[in-house]
């Protein structure tokens, strides 16, 4: 029964992607089970990531895998783990892991490095996280939405690693609600700690297209596309989360063994750059261990 359910979910994802809302842009098109991306070899990350977000994907039972790895489907090879190591930047998801909880396969695929972008820690763990949670809430309220996410390569902050992964100056999200009264919304956020409400970052899809050179949802009727993409009204969407500032730990220059204790009572074997000595899985034990 579980196998049948998993196959049904994956088939649903493939069918949604097959509806051909693929944006028009440069980059190599790479298709995974539940999301599609356009990969930029120049910037060593996705220009955009597209997926259909539904209730089943948000409320599924699949747990976070943290299996970060290169994307085998990128013909020119994606960024590597070494590019991010010791850089001071987070491996920021474009398609969030928590958006792919419907199956272990979909969850695991979000950890391909083609789906990562170097993000300022305070941004990734602060306002960007808030935006991701808000979009998931919209998927429940609207009974399904299309989401496109990517970087805007303006005012970039340099590059990291041997492969010169670009550190973008900005990120965007474009959301299309096709249920009931159709509507779109876009947001542009600087790659820095957010100090405003999410609704303050709302712009028109037209502006995102102008800044990125990407044509979103070109398959729509021209009149409808023009109408939806010219709007920038946050009042049509529910924004009820306040921006919270996150105190970000300084990173160690070399990793150490996690001080946390596993459920079996043994010391965790993971390596961590966190100064509190605990890996992601054992942050709740920070300050408790005497190891």
Catalytic residues: 93
Q: Copy the structure tokens of residue 24.
A: 């028009």
Please state the separation of Cα 178 from the chain's center in Å. 21
φ and ψ of 154, to 5 deg? -130, 140
How far, in Å, CA of 61 to CA of 165, rounded?
Answer: 33
Residues 6+ apart with CB under 8 A from 227: none
Per-residue burial over 123-146, b = 16 or more CB atoms within 10 Å of its CB, e = otherwise: bbbbbbbbbbebbbbbbeebebbb
Q: Which residues is 69 bridged to in the sheet?
A: 112
φ and ψ of 51, to 5 deg? -160, 160
Q: Copy the structure tokens of residue 274.
A: 């966190």
How far, in Å, CA of 36 to CA of 48, rounded?
Answer: 8
């Amino acid at each position: 029964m579980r196998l049948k359910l998993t196959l049904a979910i994956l088939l649903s994802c493939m069918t949604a992607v097959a509806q051909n809302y693929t944006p028009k842009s440069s980059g190599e098109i790479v298709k995974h089970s539940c999301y599609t991306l356009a990969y930029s070899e120049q910037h060593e990350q996705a220009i955009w990531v597209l997926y259909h977000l539904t209730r089943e994907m948000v409320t599924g039972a699949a747990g976070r895998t943290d299996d970060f790895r290169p994307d085998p489907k990128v013909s020119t090879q994606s960024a590597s783990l070494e590019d991010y190591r010791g850089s001071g930047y987070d491996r920021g998801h474009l398609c969030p892991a928590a958006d792919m909880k419907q199956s272990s396969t979909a969850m695991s695929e979000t950890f391909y490095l083609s789906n990562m972008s170097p993000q300022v820690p305070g941004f990734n763990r602060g306002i960007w996280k808030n935006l991701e949670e808000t979009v998931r809430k919209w998927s429940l309220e609207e009974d399904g939405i299309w989401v496109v996410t990517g970087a805007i390569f303006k005012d970039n902050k340099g590059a990291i690693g041997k492969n010169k992964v670009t550190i973008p100056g900005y990120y965007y999200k474009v959301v299309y609600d096709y249920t009931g009264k159709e509507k779109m919304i876009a947001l542009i956020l600087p790659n820095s700690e957010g100090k405003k409400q999410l609704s303050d970052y709302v712009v028109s899809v037209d502006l995102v297209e102008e800044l990125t050179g990407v044509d979103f949802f070109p398959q729509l009727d021209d009149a409808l596309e023009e109408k939806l993409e010219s709007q920038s009204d946050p009042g049509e969407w529910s924004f009820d989360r306040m921006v919270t500032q996150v105190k970000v730990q300084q990173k160690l220059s070399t990793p150490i063994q996690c001080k946390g204790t596993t459920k079996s009572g043994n010391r965790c074997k993971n390596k961590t750059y966190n100064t509190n000595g605990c890996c992601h899985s054992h942050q709740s034990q920070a300050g408790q261990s005497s190891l």
